Structure 1
Amino acid sequence: MKLRKVTAAAAAALVLSLTATACGGDDDSDSADTGSGGGDKIKVGIKYDQPGLGLKEPDGSFSGFDVDVATFVAGELGYEPNQIEFIETKSADRENALARGDVDFIAATYSITDERKEKVDFAGPYLLAHQDLLVKADSDIAEGTDLNGKKLCSVTGSTSAQNVKDEIAPDAQLKEYGTYSECIAGLQSGAVDAVTTDDSILAGFAAQDQYKGQFKLAGLKLSNENYGVGVKKGDTETVNKINDALEKMVADGAWETAVKENFGPADYKYEQAPKIGNIVQ
């Protein structure tokens, strides 16, 4: 299934934003005042290169589960979709982007950890992901130990592949590529036997039209990754408002719709929506 430019969740956010009574129309500032609700625009940090989660399309539009979550949240804060400015926020720069005020909040596969909570505040979690393996659909790799002697790919600097080697497959051959797109291409060509990172990221790639039916997730659940919405440290008011928005997204079905539309073709065995504040260790 082709990733949709506007999913049902994003459409729901549009309706909500049009009817929101908290929308502020008298603020002349260029940046958001998320604490009081409304403004000319709101700046949201996302990934640009993760299909199914945060992807900038060739026509300049955005798609993915994180995009749908961010659009819904922004709607609840009083912003229409055309008032959202999506800003690429790479993993290494997320804390700094919030501290500098480059973005108002971040929805970008941002796992909640104790170390990160020292620098930023988190709303959520809104998705529980797990480290997993992506293999070819006809692969006989069913467990991590089956990777001994096989080529395992992850991106340069990631700890995912080393975790597999350290914990379950000491004889796996690690291959580091610059991007997950390169890893997936290597899996398709046979240059590597498996790719490892969060299952949500792997499912997003596997759901793309050009890969439909070619890959499968092993379902190993090697770690727990609690995705949260990052907010500038100390902004408790915005955290509370985003938590309210996330709860509403789950309650009205938009959360599940977004999961199925973005990850469905990969047969992603997703966890049910986590409870706000419930961090699974």
Structure 2
Amino acid sequence: MRKRMTLLAVIAASALALTGCAGPNPAGDGASDSASKSPFTVATDVSLTGSPTFDAMTKRGTVKVGVKEDQPGLGYLDAATGERSGFDIEIAKWIAASLGFSADKITFEAIPSANRESAIVNGDIDFYVGTYSINDKRKEQVGFAGPYFVTGQGLLVAAGDKKITSEKDLAGTTVCSATGSTPIQNIKANFPDTKTTEFDTYSQCVEALKDGSVNAVTTDAAILIGYAAQDPDNLKVVGKPFTVEKYGVGMPKSDDALRTFTNDMFTKGGDTWTAIYNETLGKSGTKVEQPKVEAY
């Protein structure tokens, strides 16, 4: 168990890579100035029988991808430059390319955690790539390809906080996370002496932590390290990851063809996955293995 947690801690530390590790990507589309350096190419003459999602993409001529844009190193939008970067952004572009769509044919949509299932079910997006943990409850509404990454739940506190050093110190405190997220559900279920506050985005929780409205922010450790690295004078990550979270690509539940296609891409594309990791989260010098796909 200790070896497992150590690995998760290393994964979390890799988020120090922060913004700009991935190739730039304008907010309005998926175009990238670093396309020539991409570890994948756009497929041609793609045929995916039995996928209504792929049929809709083909008819439309574009891909609509749900993402996060406030998570440094994973899914981040630079407001000043309009560029998107991060591991999840590059994974999304890889999937689109495998389906035959170049980066300039991608429309990225920022979807809050609480709205991910409805966005997929309603067809607002074709698929979602944004620190989306696979669990049985979500599988009742949507399908998942992957996992493509594994991390664990952690805690972000004020830099001067000496009382909270791990999840064992949460009794009597107020913890913030995104509405509908796995971490906030875990706190409610397993930490009954802890109060919770929820917002649409983790960045709102971070602001609440800074102004003293809450005592801690919880989500996946990789995300929290990114926030702490942006503002080390005011924020720090404490303890070790205390859950295991498996990130998947969310897509329509009934689209078995698209899920199988994406799982095959992950399974056969180990070198591409590693190249994407090394150019984003892996910029910190850490090395991790691609998780094995859990097809269902």
Shorter chain as normaliser: what TM range?
Answer: 0.7 to 0.9
Amino acid in structure 2 at the alignment position of 1:277: E
1:93-136 per-position Cα deviation (integer Å, ceiling 9, x unaligned) = 32232233222211122221212212221100111222211134
Task: Give the 5 Å matches for 1:37-48.
Answer: 40-48=61-69
Question: SS of the counterpart of 1:228?
Answer: strand
TM-score, length-normalised on structure 1? 0.74
Going from structure 1 to structure 2, the CA distance change for 1:153 and 1:236 (only over 3 Å counts) comes to closer
Q: 1:99 to 1:5 in 2, by over 3 A?
A: same
**1:4 is matched with which residue?**
20
Question: Given the alignment of the two structures, is residue 227 of structure 1 paired with residue 243 of structure 2, yes or no?
Answer: no
Does residue 277 (structure 1) correspond to residue 284 (structure 2)? The answer is no
Structure 2: unaligned runs, 5 residues or longer = 1-16, 25-31, 48-52
Distance in structure 1 (CA, Å) of the matches to 2:160 and 2:153: 21
Partner of 2:77: 56
Cα separation, partners in 2 of 1:4 and 1:235, compared to 1, 3 Å: same
Q: TM-score w.r.t. structure 2 length?
A: 0.71
Q: Which residue of 2 aligns with 1:201?
A: 223
Aligned-partner Cα distance in 2 for 1:189–1:219: 22
What's the RMSD between the two structures over aligned residues?
3.8
Amino acid at match of 2:248: G
Report the CA distance between 1:3 and its aligned residue.
Answer: 0.7
**1:161-176 residue pairs with structure 2 within 5 A?**
163-164=186-187, 167=190, 170=193, 172=194, 174=196
CA distance in 1, matches of 2:199, 2:294: 35
Distance in 1 separating the partners of 2:18 and 2:154: 23
Deviates more, 1:61-70 or 1:94-103: 94-103
What is the alpha-carbon distance in structure 2 between the residues aligned to residue 156 and residue 99 of structure 1?
18
The 5 Å alignment of 1:179-190 reads: 179-188=201-210
Identity %: 38
How many equivalent pairs are there?
A: 263
User: Gapped runs of 5+ residues in structure 1?
Assistant: 25-30
Q: Which amino acid aligns with 1:224?
A: V
Aligned AA (1:65)? F
Larger relative contact order, structure 1 or 2 (CA cutoff 8 Å, min sep 6) = 2
**SS of the counterpart of 2:157?**
strand
Change (3 A) 1:94 1:13: farther
* Cα deviation digits, residues 60-113 of structure 1 (max 9, x gap): 332222111101221222221111111222323322322332222111222212
